[in-house]
Amino acid sequence: MLRNGAAGGGGGGAAAGGGGGHRPVRVWCDGCYDMVHYGHSNQLRQARAMGDYLIVGVHTDEEISKHKGPPVFTQEERYKMVQAIKWVDEIAPGAPYVTTLETLDKYSCDFCVHGDDITLTIDGKDTYEEVKTAGRYRECKRTQGVSTTDLVGRMLLMTKAHHSNIDEDLDYRKHTDNFGKGPKGHSPWTGVSQFLQTSQKIIQFASGKEPEPGDTIIYVAGAFDLFHVGHVDFLAKVHQLAEKPYIIAGLHFDQEVNRYKGKNYPIMNIHERTLSVLACRYVSEVVIGAPYAVTADLLDHFKVTLVCHGMTEVVPDKDGSDPYEEPKRRGIFQLVDSGSNLTTDLIVQRIIKNRLEFEARNQKKEAKELAVLEAMRRLEEEKH
């Protein structure tokens, strides 16, 4: 379904699965991929590294509603998001919620990969039981410090505590204690923890490719908060503007985003936004903490050929000047219509509209996970 081969990954070939010969090792992942964040991307990156070709099954809205509660994004939006992740070779729309050997065989996959958290059906069963029993299951590490639950919580709360590692905001502390928590304690999978950025994480996500002769170097800038389909549509359109595009995304610091977006934006801090954008197949490089005004220095340093902006409003710089004054003066500025009207604001509105359903959904999920933990603990005790 995707011709753009996965950037990075590979490795792990025959050792990962599949016997002799050079048949490519095909890997399967599946999930809701609702509100795709860098935790999902990191799972797919790790899965892709275990084989040669990664197929990602995405559940329908109907399946998700039945087992978990209402998704934030429609299935079409979710398909598009997963397809934009650079380690994904192909997507399988409408994948069943419970992973079966039949599905793996249908897509000629050697094994499936999931994070080291658990996923349960509506009646509390492990959705990977069948493939685990057959020895066609592999595990990768879950990304600490992020979950859809936490992001939803930040939106519901509209607090600024997540911008930094300070723990001063009592509201947020109370939220992190309550939001992913049923009445009986805390599940390690749904709970909230603080994201810690390391250079290693950035290296794993970065393409590491320098621009080549003949590349058109295109610069785009923004918050890219809660990296979503609107961003993907915009970057895909920008990508089509040149034969050999090399897209550099400039991400503004949290304080800058807060200045022009107000409220408690950004929902994701600069480190989280960096990984989300780096995981996108259309982006070659990210400038972490780019200046709000696109300066002559920046354009010369990166040898930028074209500067693009979407159809959203451009807020003036602190001194009232146009941040795109310099690229406009050089005649290299272009407005790009993504054809999408989805914004971070709209996503937050969707969440708040469904607020009660989401809170109930997260508490139910937590209670299920705690019940499984308790059962696992009892089994351990019986063994000894």
Burial of 165 (0-12, 13-18, 19+ CB in 10 A): exposed
Strand 216-222 and strand 90-93: the pairing is: unpaired
Tell me how far apart the alpha carbons of residues 61 and 73 are, in angstroms, rounded to a whole number.
8
* One-letter amino acid of 332: I
Residue 71: the pLDDT is: 86
Residue % of the chain over a pLDDT of 90: 58
Name the residue among 57, 51, 50 with its Cα closest to residue 23: 51
Name the residue among 178, 104, 116 with its Cα closest to residue 141: 116
Alpha helices in 262-354 (DSSP H): 270-278, 296-301, 325-329, 344-353
The pTM assigned to this predicted structure is 0.80
Per DSSP, what are the bridge partners of residue 120?
126
* One-letter amino acid of 164: S
Residue 373: the pLDDT is: 76
Residue 161: the pLDDT is: 57
Packed helices 148-157 and 344-353: angle between N→C axes, nearest 10 degrees: 90
Burial of 339 (0-12, 13-18, 19+ CB in 10 A): exposed
Residue 194: the pLDDT is: 57
Residue 122: the pLDDT is: 66
Residues of the chain below pLDDT 70: 1-21, 118-122, 158-195, 355-356, 358-359, 361-362, 365
Residue 98: the pLDDT is: 87
Tell me how far apart the alpha carbons of residues 299 and 344 are, in angstroms, rounded to a whole number.
28
**Dihedral angle, C-alpha 32, 38, 41, 45, nearest 10 °:** -150
